[in-house]
Structure formats: C-alpha cells, structure tokens
Structure 1
C-alpha cells in the first residue's frame, strides 16, 4: 500500500495587528520550515515574513494579519500575508538617507518572485522562496 497525496504542506495563522505580530509570524514560519526539513529556507523566510507582516501592521488599519506558508516543491515555499486593506503595496524608492521604505525592496531581492492581489475582504501579498536563492 502506498500513501495517498493529501495536498501540500501548509501552515497558517492570524495574529493581532500589533508590532509583535512580525516576531510571532517569523517564529511560526521558521518552525514550519524546520519541521518540513527545509532549514535552507529559514533565514530568507524569516526576513520576508517579517517585512510583509510589519508592512501590514504599519500601513493598514486591520485588526488582524494573516500569515501562511505552503511548501510548493522539494526546496521551495510560498509565503502569503493577508490584511483587510484594499491598498496594494508599492516598493519605496531607494534613498541613502531614507529611514523607511526599503522593506519591499528587500523582499524583491530575497524572493524568487513576489506580488500582491486584491481578494474578497482585502489583499494578499505573496513571496515565492527557493533554496537556489532570489531572482
């Protein structure tokens, strides 16, 4: 007898939209990746989910923020962060004296691909991670 395929490995959680949400999501996503045997994705995933959750907390009036990770291949995963805002994120311009606005530029540099889409009740921002690195 062989095991039946039951779908991809996936973890999801909702967090109160507070500053500590990024830390909690980072910890949970890292634990999921370690459990799945994907430690090579942990560092990048921690940085990406931290930026995406922090953006959702800082730039929306959402009460909660959702974060999920889905294993999409042998050495790849997709992070999704959701909130109730209908405003899509836009990367800032890189300025040497800017104190903010680099988060999405960092996500773009670390992820293989990323984007956002409007969904019923808000938006989702996603990032594709691969063990072979970003772009």
Structure 2
C-alpha cells in the first residue's frame, strides 16, 4: 500500500476553519482500491483544492474509491460536503464510491441506486493487476477483447485492444513498475485506465510514427480514442482513454 501526502503540515484536529486541508491517497493495488484520507480543516478557500483531489481520486482508483472523513472535525465535514455532494451527484460511472464513517454517507452520497455504482444499469467493470513484463500487454489485450465481446461491443473492440496495448506497453517500458489495468463500460463507451508507480508524465510527442510495429505510444492512443488524459498523484500516475462509438460493420 502506498501513500502520497498532499501536504506535510500537521494540522490539529480542531474546529478552527483557518486550519489548512490535508489529504493523503492510500492505495491497495491488489484490491484495486484508493482511499482519500482528509484531515485538518476545510476553509472556503480549500474548496477548489478539494474538488481537484476528488477528481484525481476518481480517475486514479481502479475499482473502489473511499472518502475517509474520520479525521475531519464536524464543521469541516459540513464544509467539505458543499463540494462532495454536487460532485457525487454528478458522477457518471467511475469507481464504486463510499464514505467513511458510514454515518456521514447518508448526507453526502446520492440516495437510491446512485449511491453504489455497482448497481447502476449498463455499467460493467474489469480489473487486472500486472507486472512490468513483456507479456503484460498481451494479457491486457486478451482481457479487453474478452470483455468487449461479453459486453456486446465488438465494433469498438479493435480500437480498445490497440489503445490498451499501447498504454500498457508504455507503462512496462517507461515506468517499469507493477501496474493496474481497469476497464469500465457505460453509455456506449469503454474507458481504459492504466495505473503505474512512476510519476513521469507521458509525452504526446514521443514516437509519432503510427506505422511503427511497437512503441507507437500516445499519438496512436490520441488517434483512436475519443478522449484521453492522465493524472499524477505522488507515487505514480494513471493514464486513461475513452473509446466510444461502434465502427462500421466492415471497418
């Protein structure tokens, strides 16, 4: 499990709203979960920061995202809620979201099925933990092809397989660390994310030759995906891409 501290300052557990917001990302890579631990205070000027932390956590978490509020005083929880409530209500897919302690969840998460995206209709997920090994791209390709067939998305399978292969190949070659591959299908699109343990930023200009046999990298991801991006958080990064829309039957 790895921890990336958002700030090193130690804030007293107090209702003083001048105390700065602290956060930490704690990840269990084998389980595919990310925990955002909030502490200190949540003054009004920290709300944009909290919104950014939540967005990063939503991208970073492979399967499950936990917002841990146990170290926040009650007044700070109320302030954080002004950011968490609209953000949680507006989420479309992403990792399964929970809030701890459970007594806070009812007031912060949407009521009904939206509280647990596992139950949301039309949303399916798959996760694979892989080593930095030359065989890992092939394992990821098999997972994507299998899931696209099972999810009834054969028209986007070829693009999703290529995009995943490039993202995993880049992670194996350049990050050289253990990695997580996560697929989420919802609303006619497949989102692929690859989480590694190296904080170097992907270079969109690296190897722009789309006809190369390997290492085509980010340019081919950008060419095949409807959207892509990355987020770096302390000990690593998540690079993601969305493949949406079916190819023609003869494509």
TM-score, with length taken from structure 1: 0.84
Aligned to 1:90: 203
Moved more, 120-129 or 51-60: 120-129
Which consecutive unaligned segments of at least 5 residues does structure 2 have? 1-112
1:95, CA displacement in angstroms? 6.2
Aligned to 1:129: 243
| Contact 2:166 2:216 (C-alpha < 8 Å) held by counterparts | no
1:17, CA displacement in angstroms? 1.0
What secondary structure is seen at the aligned counterpart in 2 of 1:87? coil
Aligned to 1:65: 179
What secondary structure is seen at the aligned counterpart in 1 of 2:155? helix
Distance in 1 separating the partners of 2:216 and 2:152: 30
Judged with a 3 Å threshold, the aligned counterparts in structure 2 of structure 1 residues 36 and 58 are, in CA distance, closer, same or farther, namely: same
Judged with a 3 Å threshold, the aligned counterparts in structure 2 of structure 1 residues 86 and 42 are, in CA distance, closer, same or farther, namely: same
Which consecutive unaligned segments of at least 5 residues does structure 1 have? none
Aligned to 2:161: 46
Distance in 1 separating the partners of 2:195 and 2:231: 10
What secondary structure is seen at the aligned counterpart in 2 of 1:124? strand
1:121, CA displacement in angstroms? 3.3
1:131, CA displacement in angstroms? 1.6
Distance in 2 separating the partners of 1:47 and 1:36: 18
**Larger gyration radius, structure 1 or structure 2:** 2
Aligned residues between the structures: 127
Judged with a 3 Å threshold, the aligned counterparts in structure 2 of structure 1 residues 9 and 95 are, in CA distance, closer, same or farther, namely: closer
TM-score, with length taken from structure 2: 0.47
Judged with a 3 Å threshold, the aligned counterparts in structure 2 of structure 1 residues 125 and 26 are, in CA distance, closer, same or farther, namely: same
The answer to whether structure 1 residue 103 and structure 2 residue 231 are counterparts is no
What secondary structure is seen at the aligned counterpart in 2 of 1:52? helix
| Contact 2:127 2:180 (C-alpha < 8 Å) held by counterparts | yes
